[in-house]
Amino acid sequence: MATECPSEGEPMDIDLPKRGSLLTLLSRPSPFASESGALPMGEFEPLSTMNNEENKLSEIEIFSSIKVLVVGAGGLGCEVLKDLAMSGISNVEVIDLDNIDVTNLNRQFLFRHKDIGASKSKVAAQFINKRCPWMKVVAHHGMIQDKPSSFYASFNCIISGLDNVEARRWLNATVCGLVQCDGDGDPDPSTIIPIIDGGTEGFSGQARVILPRITSCFECSLDAFPPQRNFPLCTIAETPRRPEHCIAYVSILLWPKEFPDRKLNTDSPEDMKWIYDKALERANKYNITGVTYMVTMGVVKNIIPAVASTNAIVAAACVNEAVKLLTFCSQTLNTYMMYMGSSWHSGVYSHTFVYERKEKCVVCASTTREMHIDEKKSLNQLIQELKDGDLRLKSPSITTGSGVTLYMQKPPALESATRPNLDKTLSSLISSGEELTVTDPILESISLTIVVTFQSNNLAPQAPLISLREKGNIAA
């Protein structure tokens, strides 16, 4: 017996069996609604429209006042847009800075051959709007950092399918920075915008729910993302053994020599071909086999081949969370789901757990950090520490608690004015126990307070460490 829908013309008063839809879920009460879960978002109120012929609402109308932002229009982004369309959420905006490349076509299914070179966000939006006429996707071509926080504040939910840690940190810091707290320090719920963050790598992926100031945020999990792979410099320069070493030699040492004014553009086929040709030359000289264009791309871009099915799974999990968050129709993910599609042990494996907040998270816990440092160290060394240590800042600027600017990365005039401070010792600039305010482009809207205390140390044991570092590793 068919469980598909009866044809349009049949009267609805005959209680014929019919396959349910999202509307069905939204109009029937549930013992597993949002308020019953560990992360209650609101109280579920079933729609009472299904029995009422005149007021037959569609999913579209239910979500008519909702606006969702999709960050990234690549492998995950395309899937997310489709899933949002299929969930009836019509007011969607999508942002991406990239253009379509031929290598995207085997999984970013909103793009075709004729679209190569065009803007991902624009083509994606066009495709969805055409296939699903109820959709009103608006495209933004550009960097997420170029949008003001008011832009992000205008959405009910943000779904992120970014492919790099730095952008995720920025987005996380910006959205967490939107939360206002009342006098008692409690966050005002109307300023909390959920971020649903998805990521994939080959057969593995994860989806997580971030409720700023309530659950753990992305910065809390920074330790789980190791910095990029390094090859020792001596191997690259003197004793290459593997194709990766040859490629690294060309991209790190040869390129700056050959093109001193130009940074390697990993998205330019001409640049990549140059790297590949030279790497092959070097490999042949050393009798090393295995340099292919693909391996070259992999090393230079640090990419792992993408799998369409993993993107489908993670994106759908994210949109599923979004729908539940916005309608309260079922329990919200608390808070992190990881997925492994190539588990040797059981074929497929998944695990869901609560990602705990990090006590001293610079973004979502407003605590002051302490740093103990030798007073004879220079300001530049302090800045280096902020970059290389576990804070992993990009280019920090520092002012003292009393408002004296120690070093500002921008604007250029201020930078050159404060540059002489870099070589001065810390003891000449600040006193022990002084509070410093640090800002950084990655955590744009968040400023850190660091209390610096001096401790006298023998410089000597440190010296070999520094020289080893200078001799040794450099990012691949």
Partner 1 sequence: GQKALGETTVILVRATAAGTETLKNLVLPGIGHILVVDDVKNFEGSRYSNFFSSEINDTAKSRAQVVMELLRELNPDVNGTFKHVHSLTNMDFTKLILEVKNPLVISADLEYPLLMQLSKVCAKNNVPMISVQAYGLIGSVRLQSPPVPIVEPKPDNSTPDLRLVTPFPKLAVFCEAVNLEALDDRQHGHVPYPVILYQFAQRWKKDHDRKLPSTFQEKQDFRAMIKKSARKVDLELNFIEAMNNSYLAYTERTVDRDNIQRLLHKASGKFEILLQALLIFLDSHDGAAPLHGSLPDMTASTQEYVQLQTLYRDQAIQDVKELLSNCYTHAGITEEDVGIFAQNVNTLDLIQVRSLEQEYECPPTAKIVEDLQSITWDPYEVTEHTPLLWYCGLRACHHFYSKVGRYPGTCEKSWGKDVELLQSSLVQVVNDLKLSETKLIQQTLLAPGNKFAKELARYGNAEIHTIASIVGGVASQEAVKLITSQYVPLNN
Residues marked active site are found at 234
User: Helices (DSSP H) in 286-411: which residue ranges?
Assistant: 293-301, 308-327, 379-388
Residue 309 interacts with partner 1 (CB under 8 A): yes or no: yes
364 CB-contact burial (10 Å; exposed 0-12 / middle 13-18 / buried 19+): buried
Output b/e per residue, 376-396; b: 16+ Cβ within 10 A. Answer: ebbbebbbeebeeeebbbeeb
Residues of span 150-189 touching partner 1 by CB under 8 A? none
Whether 405 contacts 399, CB under 8 Å: yes
| 85-93, 144-152, 368-376, 445-453 -> range binding partner 1 (CB under 8 A) | 85-93
User: Which of 56, 131, 229, 372 is close enough to bind partner 1 by CB under 8 A?
Assistant: 131
Question: What is d(CA 64, CA 67) in angstroms, rounded to the nearest whole number?
Answer: 8
Residue 194 interacts with partner 1 (CB under 8 A): yes or no: no
Side chain identity at 78, as an amino acid letter?
C
In the bound state with partner 1, the residue whose beta carbon lies nearer, of 152 and 231, is 231
User: Which of 68, 69, 87, 364 is close enough to bind partner 1 by CB under 8 A?
Assistant: 87
| 7-15, 92-100, 191-199, 265-273 -> range binding partner 1 (CB under 8 A) | 7-15
Residue 448 interacts with partner 1 (CB under 8 A): yes or no: no
User: Which of 68, 85, 209, 297 is close enough to bind partner 1 by CB under 8 A?
Assistant: 85
Residue 242 interacts with partner 1 (CB under 8 A): yes or no: yes
Helix (H) or strand (E) holding 473: strand 473-475
Residue 284 interacts with partner 1 (CB under 8 A): yes or no: no
Whether 195 contacts 210, CB under 8 Å: yes
User: Which of 241, 262, 372, 469 is close enough to bind partner 1 by CB under 8 A?
Assistant: 241
Helix (H) or strand (E) holding 277: helix 269-285
Please, what is the minimum distance in Å from the beta carbon of residue 258 to partner 1?
23
Helix, strand, or coil (residue 142):
coil
Question: What is d(CA 108, CA 100) in angstroms, rounded to the nearest whole number?
Answer: 9
DSSP type of residue 7: P
Question: What is d(CA 476, CA 428) in angstroms, rounded to the nearest whole number?
Answer: 37
Residues of span 20-59 touching partner 1 by CB under 8 A? 20-22, 24-25, 28-32, 38, 50-51, 58-59
- Other C-beta atoms closer than 10 Å to the C-beta of 67 total 15
Residues of span 344-373 touching partner 1 by CB under 8 A? 344-348, 352
Binding mask 209-238 for partner 1 (x = CB under 8 A): --------------------------x---
In the bound state with partner 1, the residue whose beta carbon lies nearer, of 53 and 261, is 53
Residue 109 interacts with partner 1 (CB under 8 A): yes or no: yes
In the bound state with partner 1, the residue whose beta carbon lies nearer, of 8 and 184, is 8
In the bound state with partner 1, the residue whose beta carbon lies nearer, of 296 and 310, is 310
Residue 313 interacts with partner 1 (CB under 8 A): yes or no: yes
Residues of span 315-344 touching partner 1 by CB under 8 A? 315-317, 319-320, 323, 330, 341-344
- Other C-beta atoms closer than 10 Å to the C-beta of 134 total 13
Please, what is the minimum distance in Å from the beta carbon of residue 367 to partner 1?
29
- Phi and psi at residue 271, to the nearest 5°: -60, -45
Strand partners, 95: 71, 140
